Chains A and B, each alone.
Chain A
Amino acid sequence: MKVSEIMKALNAELIYGEDFLDREVYSACGSDMMSDVLAYVKEQAVLLTGLVNPQVVRTAEMMDMRCIVFVRGKKPDEGMIELAKEKGIPLLGSKREMFTSCGILYEHGLRGGGHPYNG
């Protein structure tokens, strides 16, 4: 699924990342706890979260995630947007809640796809 398609499906606004709209996303992960996100490696994933602080962008950076969607109408601040620019990660904002956002993307064919490393 492309970033632009996620945007359309969630009726989301583009907060940052005009240049990344054609980027492909192959799996998804929704959580407000960053260590839970870090526990499973997803390939080229989109992160959905209701958490807003710079560690969301850092978590996505460490995991090579392709896009971040802020749910429940949460808005990142300037510092977070700057960090996302530096790391090249597009940011979307959706008014929908987490469950609904995840459900919509699931309907569009995205899956969790996480696999734990075993040492």
Chain B
Amino acid sequence: MDEIIRQHYDVDGSDFTRAGEASGKIKKTLKDIGFTPEAVRKTAIAVYEAEINLVIHAGGGEIDVEITPEHVRIVLTDHGPGIENVELAMQEGYSTAPDRIRALGFGAGMGLPNIKKYTDEMDIQTELGVGTVMTLKINA
């Protein structure tokens, strides 16, 4: 693989059952390309947590993927409420998810710390009332 592969996904914020579809496709692409199983799994988990966040916290959004022989870069964009205090949000156990979300198995406040752990680079740009752009990079 020499060329750069680019993918774009729209994530529907109203359909919880389909959340994770994009992550599944990204995982399959990386596996087919021949990324190491560890890189495939780290990417899959990180982007899945981020995709779930798009759905449960931001009303959906978009995912752009760029795959090169060296790395995969994933940009998640939403027009949700934004994150008031990123440092706080990054702490294990911090969650604003209501009971309704907890009943679905999410809202442990582990998503962002997990993403940090599984990626080589993680950047969050956010503005209250405007939205959030999160960029993740995982080395091949």
Contacts and interface: CB of A to CB of B under 8 A. Distances in A.
B45 A63 contact: yes
Contacts of A58: 19-20, 23-24, 48
A70 B19 CA distance: 21
Given A62-B41, A62-B48, A63-B45, A34 B27 contact: no
A35 B105 CA distance: 8
Contacts of A63: 41, 44-45
Interface stretch (A7-15, A20-28, A111-119): A111-119
B114 A34 contact: no
B106 A35 contact: yes
A79 B17 contact: yes
A33 B106 CA distance: 6
If over half of B's interface residues share one DSSP class (helix, strand or loop), that class is named, otherwise mixed; here it is: helix
A53 B17 contact: yes
B137 interface: no
Contact of B52 (A41, A55, A56): A55
25 contacts: A33-B107, A35-B106, A35-B114, A38-B49, A38-B111, A38-B114, A41-B41, A49-B105, A51-B105, A53-B17, A54-B17, A55-B104, A58-B19, A58-B23, A59-B105, A61-B20, A62-B20, A62-B23, A62-B24, A62-B27, A62-B41, A62-B44, A62-B48, A63-B41, A79-B17
Given A34-B105, A35-B109, 15 more contacts: A35-B111, A35-B114, A36-B108, A38-B45, A38-B111, A38-B114, A39-B110, A58-B19, A58-B20, A58-B24, A61-B20, A61-B24, A62-B20, A79-B17, A116-B117
Interface of A: 32-36, 38-39, 41, 49, 51, 53-56, 58-59, 61-64, 79, 87, 116-119
6 closest residue pairs by CB, A with B: A35-B110, A58-B20, A62-B44, A34-B105, A35-B108, A33-B108
